[in-house]
Structure 1
Amino acid sequence: MKEFNRTLAGIVAAVSVMTAAASCAAVPKEEPETVPQQTEPAAAAPVEDVTEPEDTGLGIDGTILTWLGDFDLNPTDGGAKSVAISMFEDMYGAAVNCIQVDAENKYTRLSEMILSGEEVDIFPYDSAALPDGVARDQFEPLDPYFDIMGVNEGLWDDMQPAIDALTYNGSHYVMPYRITDPIILTYSRKTVNENGLSDPYTLYQNGEWDWDSFENMIAQFTGSAPEGTYRYGINGWFGHAILASAGSRVVNSDGSGLVNNINDPAIEQAENFMGRLAANGYYDRRDRYSFPTDGNTLFYAMGEWALGASNAKNPDADLMVVPFPKSPDSDKTYYACDYSAMMLVKNSSHPEAAAALMRCERLAASQPEYVAAAREKAVTPVTSGTGEVRSVVTEEQYDAIRSYIRDCTPWFDYGSGMGERMYGEGNYNFSTRGVMNNLSEAMLKGEIWDWYSLRDQMSPIIDSEIARIANGGQPVAEPEPEQPEEDAEEQPEENYDEDAQF
């Protein structure tokens, strides 16, 4: 085993070389997925004075972990290893064998491998893992391995809000080592100033950034449109961000099981807020993958991945970003995001080695040297072969987003991890979408205007899927309707007069 600090210095040097090379080769993402994915890692607050003992006592030297996923952890085509994989190999003398499968087939393949007893240890976290994958008995809790992961020595302390949000039935199946792709609002400070509006970033800093100030700003902007011009308040992908900002969950947990929480007044307020944005014509439904260039849209909502292209296409707009505004009734700013994490597969032969790799991932996400390298890469402009700037993020924007991730509260709803009926897109319409996507889109798109009607249609599906999760992820047979008992004695046939008056 090599001494930790020497390994750290060597890997940081390699990261610097990788950063310089990546700035010439990276291409910004052009289209969002169903849930946008982040292109640059989000760095957590640094953890100081973390050292690795020369002899870990784990006995995992020479261990080869088996990873099953839709991407390869090891470099391909001569690429450089990730910081975490380099640490894992250098500090523990272990390695990872990757089995790559298509995203749509990975859970099926995982089930096959578990049932057949094939070697598989770790699996990428995504929304389907919790609670659906856990209910299907595909994953193990990580609590017994907290010492190895460094949880008890403070390595994960600044991730505690996310860890708490993802706790399931008192256990920790998901330990996010990094928060990724927060949904943010991009706006032009030039447009804000020209229209005499308050700066949203200043409102956020003063604790005044909520639905009311957001909606009032939009009303002022759209109401002062020049003759012949139509203005919008917001464009992009933000239904989940509104649900998150309410600070509640559609499906909650009582510590022993899942609970249908759709009747929470906070959910109703969020849905009615969406309805107002749609009814007042504030929402531009057109698909855009960067901040609009026409100057007629006040806010653009999307994951962090879209910011670089937005800056490149609007070089004179002085773009800035803020988190989605909080509910006026909430004392916290909650934000929708994704999480980078690994799942420990059921019956893994090497749980200690898996925990050691997760420790390396957390170190790579939190150590000051790696945080600085990630920042340098993120703010380096990406150019085309002709020198045209394709993507650029300013230092101010990057640092602001890191502060939002650190200071605001990440949100997770169990409903987003309960299968297609809860989180599927179907054919992208009301009748085929899952519950969570209908709650995020139906009111905004004007597919339904009444919250109570939407709630009453979604609530029975939630109940049914909660029952399925409680049944090990398997459907629960619907009870047969009760048949009325027949009278023992035959009743006389009633006479019916067609001409009778009632």
Structure 2
Amino acid sequence: MRFAKKGFSLLLIVVMVLVAACSGGNGGNSDPEPTTPPTQTESNDNNGGEKVNEESPKEEPVADGKWEMDFDLGGRTIKFLHQSDPYRNETPEQLYMRDVKVPELEKKHNVKIENIVETRGNMFENLASSVLAGEPMGDAVYIDTRWGFPGWITGKIIEPIDQYVDLNGPAGAVFDPLLKGFATIDNHVYAYHAPKVDFIGLVYNRTMLQEHGIKDLHEYVKEGNWTWDTFREIVTKVTNTQAGIYGYGGTALYSGNNFIASNGGNYVDYEAKKEMMSDPRTIEATAFMQEMLPYSLINEINNESMKTHFNAGEMMMASASVADAASLRETGAVDFGFVHFPVGPSGDIPRTMSTPPQMWSIPVGVEDPEKVLYLLYKMYELPEDMIIPEDYFGQNNLEKIFAYEEDIAEAKQLMNSANYVLSYSEFVPGWNVYEFLNQILLEGTAPATVAESQRQLMQTGLDEAFKK
């Protein structure tokens, strides 16, 4: 089984098992419902029967290579299930979709489009049962991918999109290449997302560095000396616990994910379907985090409290997502920079480990999956006069978030496939990443001991998820 370059999984064979596996806190890592059309490169996220059409649909791409289809759905109602109101902010783009694009598509294709807001809990609990009853609750559903990969795939709850849509043709260009790989199991693509800006790295307080006589972190990067040893020296020098100042801070999950990734490790190897907690690189990374605890503010930190501490000058460096960095820029309390996590002794290149994205999937039993996906894509499409030209993907957003060119260069690097690792931490039934990290970071248990005590639990979950 190929989980592509970046894989997913989560079992949903027994709902109660899934609830237990997924009900742990998310450390502030939930992605927002997409509000931006797929054709616009912004960082906002957005973006049964078992019969499968073995042939790609016959499409008629126009001269410029855009994905176009012509069909009549005979007055059918198509339901798109969102996790939040796609028109909630009434931005020009959202109003264009509501007032222009949806009516235009309804008239052209003789269809009624309903954009329905469904609670995450209801969608999670009822999608599988609705499909098994032969009445899918929506034609396309915006799911947390950790809910259903691979359980909703092995359980035939969601469709393989690529068996209905030729992803080597014009349709393939509308898929985010990284997330397309992430949504691939057994060489089939099960979810859709338009290209998006996504990464996690380190924001740092430039003023605090200067006050402590430390050169800018980009200088270490240029010298090839942005390593764990350098990180250790800096946080040791900056930390003053009596004054409530720490060299580093962030959520346990962001910290764990990215120090592990920076050392070439992970929690799971989905290619081999094997746990990686006991991998020497993972143990080395978690041991380093444990060593850095006296100089770090991690306990009880979530994404919001991280920003509060960082803006107050109580953290010199902090793990931050795209959304976190954008919020810090908007607040404007700190002159901050951005770099990748330092490369570990067993690592090779800068890496970022992102969290499970939300993506669009088509439930099994939905008629005409290719037409449903096409309508979804076109619904978010903007006219050229509403699209801001870019010299490179993500330029408009990165220039809004970062004030310095070197910060933008770091972010662009982390968005490359070679540097981008997706977290497999929340997809294993019966295993909880937060318990794993808490034992190491809060209880002080040796990483090798924790790995040894939990490795069989994780392996059992993997075997069950993939039906070994």
Could you state the TM-score of these two structures normalised by the residue count of structure 1? Answer: 0.67
Given the alignment of the two structures, is residue 444 of structure 1 paired with residue 450 of structure 2, yes or no?
A: no
* Distance in 2 of aligned mates of 1:396 and 1:362: 31
* Distance in 2 of aligned mates of 1:451 and 1:77: 45
* Distance in 2 of aligned mates of 1:343 and 1:265: 36
8 Å contact 1:139–1:343 — kept in the other structure? yes
Which residue of structure 1 aligns with residue 230 of structure 2? 213
* Distance in 1 of aligned mates of 2:270 and 2:397: 39
Q: Secondary structure at the residue paired with 1:214? A: helix
After TM superposition, list the pairs within 5 Å mapping 1:257-276 onto structure 2: 258-276=273-291
Given the alignment of the two structures, is residue 300 of structure 1 paired with residue 318 of structure 2, yes or no?
A: yes
* Distance in 2 of aligned mates of 1:341 and 1:286: 29
Of the candidates 128, 143, 151, which is equivalent to residue 132 of structure 1? 151
Which residue of structure 2 aligns with residue 332 of structure 1? 349
1:69-113 Cα offsets, whole Å, 9 max, x none, are 43344x369776647776576466455323433212212221232
Which residue of structure 2 aligns with residue 482 of structure 1? none
Given the alignment of the two structures, is residue 143 of structure 1 paired with residue 162 of structure 2, yes or no?
A: yes
| Structure having the higher Rg | 1
* Distance in 1 of aligned mates of 2:64 and 2:290: 49
The amino acid of 1:470's aligned partner reads: F
* Distance in 2 of aligned mates of 1:327 and 1:367: 46
Structure 1 residue 367 displacement after superposition:
11
After TM superposition, list the pairs within 5 Å mapping 1:15-30 onto structure 2: none
The amino acid of 1:56's aligned partner reads: M
Q: 1:32 to 1:259 in 2, by over 3 A?
A: closer
Of the candidates 239, 242, 247, which is equivalent to residue 233 of structure 1? 247
Q: Secondary structure at the residue paired with 1:66? A: strand
1:366-388 Cα offsets, whole Å, 9 max, x none, are 999257699768877xxxxxxxx
Of the candidates 384, 387, 390, which is equivalent to residue 369 of structure 1? 387
* Distance in 1 of aligned mates of 2:113 and 2:205: 45
Q: Secondary structure at the residue paired with 2:387? A: helix
Given the alignment of the two structures, is residue 112 of structure 1 paired with residue 129 of structure 2, yes or no?
A: yes
Structure 1 residue 230 displacement after superposition:
5.3
* Distance in 1 of aligned mates of 2:235 and 2:415: 27
The amino acid of 2:325's aligned partner reads: L
Q: Secondary structure at the residue paired with 2:292? A: helix
* Distance in 1 of aligned mates of 2:237 and 2:464: 47
Of the candidates 403, 418, 424, which is equivalent to residue 412 of structure 2? 403
Structure 1 residue 406 displacement after superposition:
2.9
Q: Secondary structure at the residue paired with 2:43? A: coil
Q: Secondary structure at the residue paired with 1:353? A: helix
Q: 1:458 to 1:218 in 2, by over 3 A?
A: same
Given the alignment of the two structures, is residue 122 of structure 1 paired with residue 140 of structure 2, yes or no?
A: yes
8 Å contact 1:36–1:303 — kept in the other structure? no
Given the alignment of the two structures, is residue 200 of structure 1 paired with residue 217 of structure 2, yes or no?
A: yes
* Distance in 2 of aligned mates of 1:181 and 1:267: 23
Q: Secondary structure at the residue paired with 1:96? A: strand
The amino acid of 2:154's aligned partner reads: A
After TM superposition, list the pairs within 5 Å mapping 1:98-497 onto structure 2: 98-119=115-136, 120-126=138-144, 127-147=146-166, 150=169, 154-156=173-175, 159-179=176-196, 182-204=199-221, 207-222=224-239, 229=243, 231-237=245-251, 238-254=255-271, 258-278=273-293, 280-287=294-301, 288-290=305-307, 291-311=309-329, 315=333, 317-338=334-355, 339-357=357-375, 359-360=377-378, 369=387, 393-396=401-404, 399=408, 403-407=412-416, 409-419=419-429, 421-422=430-431, 434=432, 436-445=433-442, 447-471=443-467
8 Å contact 2:247–2:315 — kept in the other structure? yes
Which residue of structure 1 aligns with residue 50 of structure 2? none
8 Å contact 2:339–2:411 — kept in the other structure? no
* Distance in 2 of aligned mates of 1:233 and 1:249: 25
8 Å contact 2:310–2:316 — kept in the other structure? no
Structure 1 residue 455 displacement after superposition:
0.7
8 Å contact 1:326–1:333 — kept in the other structure? yes
Q: Secondary structure at the residue paired with 2:441? A: coil
The alignment-based identity, stated in percent, is 15
Q: 1:70 to 1:230 in 2, by over 3 A?
A: closer
1:293-319 Cα offsets, whole Å, 9 max, x none, are 44342112232323354346553x421
* Distance in 2 of aligned mates of 1:470 and 1:32: 24
Structure 1 residue 139 displacement after superposition:
0.9
1:148-203 Cα offsets, whole Å, 9 max, x none, are 685676554xx434433442233221343234553232211111122222322343
Q: Secondary structure at the residue paired with 1:140? A: coil
8 Å contact 1:187–1:320 — kept in the other structure? yes
Q: 1:328 to 1:416 in 2, by over 3 A?
A: same
Q: 1:362 to 1:145 in 2, by over 3 A?
A: farther
Supply the RMSD in Å over aligned alpha carbons: 4.1
Q: 1:377 to 1:210 in 2, by over 3 A?
A: closer
The amino acid of 2:322's aligned partner reads: E
Structure 1 residue 320 displacement after superposition:
1.6
The amino acid of 2:147's aligned partner reads: A
Which residue of structure 1 aligns with residue 59 of structure 2? none
* Distance in 2 of aligned mates of 1:357 and 1:405: 31
8 Å contact 2:43–2:397 — kept in the other structure? no
Listed as ranges, the gaps of 5+ residues in structure 2 are 1-24, 36-41, 46-62
Could you state the TM-score of these two structures normalised by the residue count of structure 2? Answer: 0.71
Instruction: Name the count of aligned residue pairs.
Output: 401
Q: 1:250 to 1:286 in 2, by over 3 A?
A: closer
